[in-house]
A and B are shown apart, each in its own frame.
Chain A
Amino acid sequence: DADVTQTPRNRITKTGKRIMLECSQTKGHDRMYWYRQDPGLGLRLIYYSFDVKDINKGEISDGYSVSRQAQAKFSLSLESAIPNQTALYFCATSDSGPGGANGYTFGSGTRLTVV
């Protein structure tokens, strides 16, 4: 089945370390997103990309960077991890059909703990 895959599923890292979260999709969607989820704060957008040459900041991009290596791959990096970046991270994809926007497909998530 076409899907959105995130690696790793869980990661514990130390403060100051650089870490990369990876996302790949087989849905053929052109748009990819990274969200962060904290308890009680819902889903907050970090970065998004509408195609391989397009990268845009979301509402909470400070401390993060992204790379869109191919239509199917979108990676999120924490340049120097800090404890308040401990959260659940979701990658999502969507297309932009003739009817307008369509819903997201989310990856299974990466639970990141920074100690």
Chain B
Amino acid sequence: GENVEQHPSTLSVQEGDSAVIKCTYSDSASNYFPWYKQELGKRPQLIIDIRSNVGEKKDQRIAVTLNKTAKHFSLHITETQPEDSAVYFCAAFPGVLGQNFVFGPGTRLSVLP
């Protein structure tokens, strides 16, 4: 079955710098890759996603890139702000509608003032 790894587990950046979180997946049939942000004490919320027919997607300060050959996808946050501090989860959908998302273990991002 699908396995998703996520690195780093913790990341500290200075306010205004960029942050990059990388995930790798094992199942080449996976075709949908969402990213979730979970602020302290709150529910995970979808912030951006990408499908396997697209290499990059941007939404203001966040972007996701997908390399299907290498089976990895990354979240990029530019001009980080304190409110970006949270735990970020990546996930992969195995490409068969009878199956479920597989989540990465999460990255705790701290944006230092």
Answer yes or no: do A and B interact: yes
Point out residues on A near B: beta carbons under 8 Å.
33, 40-43, 45, 48, 50, 58, 90, 96, 99-109
Q: A33-B100, A45-B100, A101-B93 are in contact. Are A109 and B43 (CB under 8 A)?
A: yes
Q: Least Cβ distance of B39 to chain A in Å?
A: 12
The B contact surface, by secondary structure, is loop
Whether B89 sits at the interface, judged by CB under 8 Å, is yes
> A residues within 8 A CB of B46?
103-105
B43 touches A42 (CB 8 A): no
Contacting B105 at CB < 8 Å: which of A42, A99, A109?
Answer: A42
B103 touches A107 (CB 8 A): no
CB closest residue in chain A, given B87 = A42
Point out residues on B near A: beta carbons under 8 Å.
31-32, 34, 36, 42-46, 49, 51, 89, 93, 95, 97-98, 100-101, 103-106
CB closest residue in chain A, given B45 = A106
The A contact surface, by secondary structure, is strand
Closest 7 CB pairs of A and B: A103-B46, A106-B43, A42-B105, A103-B34, A101-B93, A43-B103, A101-B32
> A residues within 8 A CB of B106?
42
Q: How many A-B residue pairs have CB under 8 A?
A: 50
> B residues within 8 A CB of A101?
31-32, 93, 97, 101
B49 touches A100 (CB 8 A): no
CB closest residue in chain B, given A90 = B43
Q: Least Cβ distance of A29 to chain B in Å?
A: 13
Q: A41-B105, A109-B43 are in contact. Are A103 and B49 (CB under 8 A)?
A: yes
- Of B43, B46, B93, the most chain A CB neighbours within 10 A belong to B43
**What are 24 contact pairs spanning A and B, CB under 8 A?**
A41-B105, A42-B89, A42-B106, A43-B103, A45-B100, A48-B100, A90-B43, A96-B97, A100-B31, A100-B51, A100-B95, A101-B32, A101-B97, A101-B101, A102-B32, A103-B36, A103-B46, A103-B49, A104-B34, A104-B44, A106-B36, A106-B44, A106-B45, A108-B42
